[in-house]
Amino acid sequence: MNDTVLKKLGLAVLETECAAVDALKSRIDDDFVRACHFMLECEGRVVVIGMGKSGHVGGKIAATLASTGTPAFFVHPGEASHGDLGMITSKDVVLALSNSGETDEILTILPIIKRLHVPLISLTGNPDSTLARAASVNIHVGVQKEACPLDLAPTASTTAALAMGDALAISLLEVRGFTADDFARSHPGGKLGRRLLLLIDDLLHTGERVPKVPSGTLICDALLEMTQKGLGTTAIVDEHDSVLGIFTDGDLRRALDHDIDLHKTPIDEVMTRKPTLISPGLLAAEALQIMDAGKFNALLVVDADKRLIGALNMHDLLRAGVV
């Protein structure tokens, strides 16, 4: 056994599985469409069942459906005959996976499913099997051979079933008009969810944590405020807390280039007037875009009257996982 042989074996597996998925193209037919309609018209949830490797695939299909706008969950058929059948209601649709179509645990609960008068969609490798014949609609996901050299271990067949499950889920997603915002709401812990749902209001430095100094403050005192608040910037405000300008690390470097006396010069002479200001309620991702476009490291947040509400910088966005 050498490295070349291992590569050859791995390549053979991928070629077999690619062929299995490619063969599914001809199975996107009227039965596929009927299955989609059953799930689109479902008033309850899609209940996915499967044993063994088909069960693992079924769990993934159920998760994909649920996260893309089609409420779904997985029920183990072995547990179903011991009470879990109570999870299935008359408003549901059942999606059953079995390569042979003769899985005992699924066949055992078929009469109960039929008695509920719910649509039964099957994904089988044998369109003449008991499960396929009992189903309201069967989608053929059979393969010519498994990638396993013994033609025993479920490999190409599970890949084909998984791919067909994805085809169903994504087709439903498109028809439902499921958006990135919808996806984010079901994935609030993921990076996409944070980018599409997180507001700057959740990240702002407010109250005593906001760096600000009154107009007329000496640069040296403004630097103390910047150091204490740790945002690399400070707002310059009037007596009503309205923003007159901003002073940043960049402004400091430019002031030093001009040999300005930090202990005698008012901050007003070196601050950036008319800074970019943002309003509360803005998405954190939008604030990031503003920072990127303007090469800013920090932004001030104001109300409708330009009164200072808070501040945030790039580190806040980094910590929140928006960047």
Question: How much is the average pLDDT of 16-21?
Answer: 96
Strand partners, 47: 73, 94
- Helices 30-40 and 156-176 meet at what angle, rounded to 10? 60
Per the listing, tokens 């599914």 go with: 24
Q: Is the pLDDT of residue 93 over 70?
A: yes
Would you state the pLDDT for residue 32?
97
Burial class (CB in 10 A: 0-12, 13-18, 19+), 171: middle
Question: Please, which residues have CB within 8 angstroms of residue 144's CB and are 6 or more apart in sequence?
Answer: 19, 20, 23
148-194 confidence digits (pLDDT tens): 888 878 999 999 999 999 999 999 988 888 766 656 555 555 555 55
Question: How much is the average pLDDT of 11-21?
Answer: 95
CB 291 within 8 A of CB 179: no
Q: Which of 18-32, 125-139, 157-171, 178-192 has the weakest average pLDDT? A: 178-192
Burial class (CB in 10 A: 0-12, 13-18, 19+), 123: buried
Domains of the chain: 3-178 (3.40.50.10490), 200-319 (3.10.580.10)
Confidence of residue 101 (pLDDT cuts 50, 70, 90): very high
Question: How much is the average pLDDT of 54-63?
Answer: 96
Cα Dmax for the chain: 92
CB 141 within 8 A of CB 161: yes
Pairing state between β 205-206 and 308-313: antiparallel
Within a 10 A sphere around the Cβ of 162, how many other Cβ atoms? Answer: 21
Dihedral through CA 302, CA 182, CA 160, CA 128, nearest 10? 180
Strand partners, 307: 242
3-state SS, one letter per residue, for 30-50:
HHHHHHHHHHHCCCCCEEEEE
CA distance 170 to 185: 17
Query: What's the token pair of residue 67?
Result: 């996260």
Q: Is the pLDDT of residue 125 over 90?
A: yes
202-254 confidence digits (pLDDT tens): 888 999 999 999 999 999 999 999 999 988 899 999 999 999 999 988 888 88
Dihedrals phi, psi of 199, to nearest 5 degrees: -100, 155
CB 75 within 8 A of CB 84: yes
Would you state the pLDDT for residue 122?
97
CB 43 within 8 A of CB 91: yes
